Structure 1
Amino acid sequence: MTHVPSAATFDPATATIAIVTYNRSGLLTRLLTSLTEMDPKPGHIVVIDNASTDDTADVVASFRESLAPAELVYRRMETNTGGSGGFSEGMRVAYELGSEWIWLMDDDVEVLPDGLAKMGKWTPRFKSIQGRRYDYDGSAFYWQYRIAEPLAIPIPFAPASFDESGFKPMNSGCFEGMFIHRDIVRQIGLPDPRFFIYWDDQMYGWLASRKTQSVIVDDFVLRRTREIRQWDMGIRHMNASSNAYRYYIMRNRAYIKKYYRSLGVYRPLPFALGTALTFAKELIRLFFVERTVRGTSNLFRGLRDGRAISRDASWQPMPPLEAAAQPGR
């Protein structure tokens, strides 16, 4: 029999959903529509607009009444800070609102009507929780929830099945659905906006797992609403990418190295192997998913700029947040 935890101590009004969006008002409309159908709703919904040039602001304003009793908070960034900067700002706003629980997500998903209730039932036991997600075609999305710490890369063959407990320990994270308690945010600080895109959520989830028991739970709470070109490998899929992603995938290995060094877990040889495997994986993605050889220069450019980051003696990790009073009930 599957274990079903109690939801007795979870108050949905203490939760905030933080969404990051950029020039995808159509997708954002679908997500906000799904939030109008949620039961229960969170206390706040925060939308971080990464300097969109479309009608995002008007779309958000049109949902203000229909999302009640949730309070809708809109923040428009002056420039596009990438997913990393957007999630850092979303976390900051949610934390300053006094939220006990912060649920992060991109604009290309929709929330299932009972999504918050499903997440809430695990809150008496855990403080860093990842729910499951349906892919665009309705299949169960496989997220690589474990990383090989010395290599700092995901383990692609971590078991997909769940036992009767209904959860599995994880040492990673994904900002498309991360559900985290403010106590953990206070201890590890905000997500690092310097990543811009890629590796930021894995790093944040790893930091969280060093402070608490992080888990992925066998509850579907999200559905992807954007189709992405994939290479079907049978059990696993490999998604298409972009030149920007290729650059940041390699450059941001330097930020991971910096965090590892600051925490005393950096091991040069395994980490270098992880970087080499990441490079090889991106070549495979280029050849077999995108059917091109163009784009390799972005991988080398990322490595080059990463070396400059590695030599920066002034670099510091994101600081913990000051202790704050618990939000009022």
Structure 2
Amino acid sequence: MKISAVVVTFNRKKLLLECLNALRNQTYPLDAIFIIDGPSTDGTPEALLECGYIKELPPKKGNWSWETKNVIYSPINNKPIKVYYVRLYKDVGGSGGFYEGVKRAYEEGYNWIWLMDDDAEPREDALEKLIRYMNLPGVIALAPTVIRPTGEISKPHRGILCFKKIFPMIQIPLDESKYKSNQPVQIDFVSFVGPLIKRDAIKIVGFPKKEFFIHHDDVEYSIRLRTVGKIYLIPDSVIIHKENIKKTSLIKKRFLGKTIYRIPYNKLWKTYYGTRNLTYLGRIYSKSKFKFYFKLLKRWAVSVGAIILFDDHKIKRIQFITSAYLDGLRGKFDNEKPKRILYGGKKE
């Protein structure tokens, strides 16, 4: 049995090094780590070189990707751990990064693949506690508990899928009481913060959907995984997620005595993918198409009304949000489109 980790990173070298250190120090040592860098501009390759994860720097420019291999050693038992560093030369988002990482780990023959972003830090015994349950009947994925740095459970990362109520979230977070169990808990949905996925399942369902770019790619993949087996939460296996949720970059507006937060125009492009991808999933999987289209129309109308009331660049914003819904309904995945609509193709 060979186990590899896949870490997707972009411009967070400090967090990446903390994640890699946690992986290196697992009490059940990994066989390999795939680092998918897509493509960082903050000195990530230099940091990896300095810390001994890679032995050479990637070229400054390339057509698609550049890969180098190295070997580090587990401080637990001095076991060699292969390190594959993949430098992408095009921004393909988190979805594209996970696609690339899972594909490469699968093609290298690893039996189980452990997925996470660079802002995840598994506790040293996280993997050891997961592998105890690899032989559960029908198991195709095992998921640790996700906690915030403050210690509380981050519930949105594990849950049950609800195809009756697509908006605003297709997944219902798992009740906190489930985390108190000493036994595995079967779930429908696992985010890409720490799932350990079986090779046999990947062979059938394929790789994460790279076209999503960001947002809801883990939902889509969970739906596919559930068609071939069972996903289990392992409550006593823990991974820390250092997600940085800030409202400081948002614009505050007052309306009827309430504070309304609005997204600045130069940051707006990132919101397109979540709306498009959730709409796409709803069109395919919603149990009641009437309710789905009714709620979609209602959400669109509310969004347009808020733009008219609160925002600048009103025409562009309305065109932008309308396009996100329509592209989801049509299944169109042009990931350069949001910037073309908002900024004429110029990067903000």
* Shorter-chain TM-score range: 0.7 to 0.9
> Could you say what secondary structure the match of 2:215 adopts?
coil
Which of 195, 204, 211 aligns to 1:178? It is 195
Match of 2:323 in 1: 304
Whole-angstrom CA distance in 2 between matches of 1:227 and 1:311: 33
Residue identity matched to 2:206: G
Which of 199, 224, 243 aligns to 2:268? It is 243
8 Å contact from structure 2 (residues 125, 237) kept in 1 = no
Residue identity matched to 2:110: S
Match of 2:93 in 1: 82
Does residue 215 (structure 1) correspond to residue 238 (structure 2)? The answer is: no
User: Between Structure 1 and Structure 2, whose CA radius of gyration is higher?
Assistant: 2
TM-score (norm 2): 0.71
Match of 1:161 in 2: 177
Deviates more, 1:112-121 or 1:67-76: 67-76
Whole-angstrom CA distance in 2 between matches of 1:141 and 1:295: 35
Whole-angstrom CA distance in 1 between matches of 2:292 and 2:155: 25
> Could you say what secondary structure the match of 2:159 adopts?
coil
The 3 A distance-change label for structure 1 pair 108 and 298 is farther
Residue identity matched to 1:33: N
Please list, as runs of the form range in 1=range in 2, the aligned pairs for 1:40-51 lying within 5 A after superposition: 40-51=28-39
Which of 110, 127, 130 aligns to 1:99? It is 110
Whole-angstrom CA distance in 2 between matches of 1:282 and 1:133: 32
Deviates more, 1:145-154 or 1:270-279: 270-279
The 3 A distance-change label for structure 1 pair 140 and 313 is closer
> Could you say what secondary structure the match of 1:161 adopts?
helix
TM-score (norm 1): 0.75
Whole-angstrom CA distance in 1 between matches of 2:234 and 2:313: 37
Whole-angstrom CA distance in 2 between matches of 1:109 and 1:147: 23
The 3 A distance-change label for structure 1 pair 90 and 293 is same
Whole-angstrom CA distance in 1 between matches of 2:122 and 2:83: 16
Whole-angstrom CA distance in 1 between matches of 2:231 and 2:295: 23
Among all aligned residue pairs of Structure 1 and Structure 2, give the percentage whose two residues are the same amino acid. 24
Match of 1:149 in 2: 163
Deviates more, 1:220-229 or 1:168-177: 220-229
Whole-angstrom CA distance in 1 between matches of 2:223 and 2:329: 20
CA RMSD of aligned residues (A): 3.5
* Displacement of 1:54: 2.1
> Could you say what secondary structure the match of 1:223 adopts?
strand
8 Å contact from structure 2 (residues 148, 154) kept in 1 = yes
Please list, as runs of the form range in 1=range in 2, the aligned pairs for 1:1-329 lying within 5 A after superposition: 11=1, 14-61=2-49, 62-64=51-53, 66-68=72-74, 69-125=80-136, 126-143=139-156, 144-152=158-166, 153-156=169-172, 158-162=174-178, 164=181, 166-229=183-246, 243-257=268-282, 259-260=284-285, 267-272=288-293, 275=296, 301-308=320-327, 310-311=329-330
Whole-angstrom CA distance in 2 between matches of 1:314 and 1:79: 16
The 3 A distance-change label for structure 1 pair 164 and 251 is closer
Deviates more, 1:28-37 or 1:190-199: 28-37
Residue identity matched to 1:141: S
Residue identity matched to 1:214: I
The 3 A distance-change label for structure 1 pair 245 and 114 is same
Whole-angstrom CA distance in 1 between matches of 2:333 and 2:213: 19
> Could you say what secondary structure the match of 2:7 adopts?
strand
The 3 A distance-change label for structure 1 pair 123 and 269 is same
8 Å contact from structure 1 (residues 28, 107) kept in 2 = yes
Whole-angstrom CA distance in 1 between matches of 2:148 and 2:333: 42
The 3 A distance-change label for structure 1 pair 66 and 280 is farther
Match of 1:235 in 2: none
8 Å contact from structure 2 (residues 7, 36) kept in 1 = yes
Q: How many corresponding residue pairs?
A: 286
8 Å contact from structure 2 (residues 23, 30) kept in 1 = no
8 Å contact from structure 1 (residues 250, 303) kept in 2 = no
8 Å contact from structure 1 (residues 104, 176) kept in 2 = yes
8 Å contact from structure 1 (residues 243, 295) kept in 2 = no
Whole-angstrom CA distance in 2 between matches of 1:185 and 1:304: 32
Whole-angstrom CA distance in 2 between matches of 1:135 and 1:251: 28
Whole-angstrom CA distance in 2 between matches of 1:313 and 1:230: 31
The 3 A distance-change label for structure 1 pair 33 and 295 is farther
8 Å contact from structure 1 (residues 248, 302) kept in 2 = no
Looking at both structures, which has the greater relative contact order when contacts are Cα pairs under 8 Å and sequence separation is at least 6? 1
8 Å contact from structure 2 (residues 141, 198) kept in 1 = yes
> Could you say what secondary structure the match of 2:190 adopts?
coil
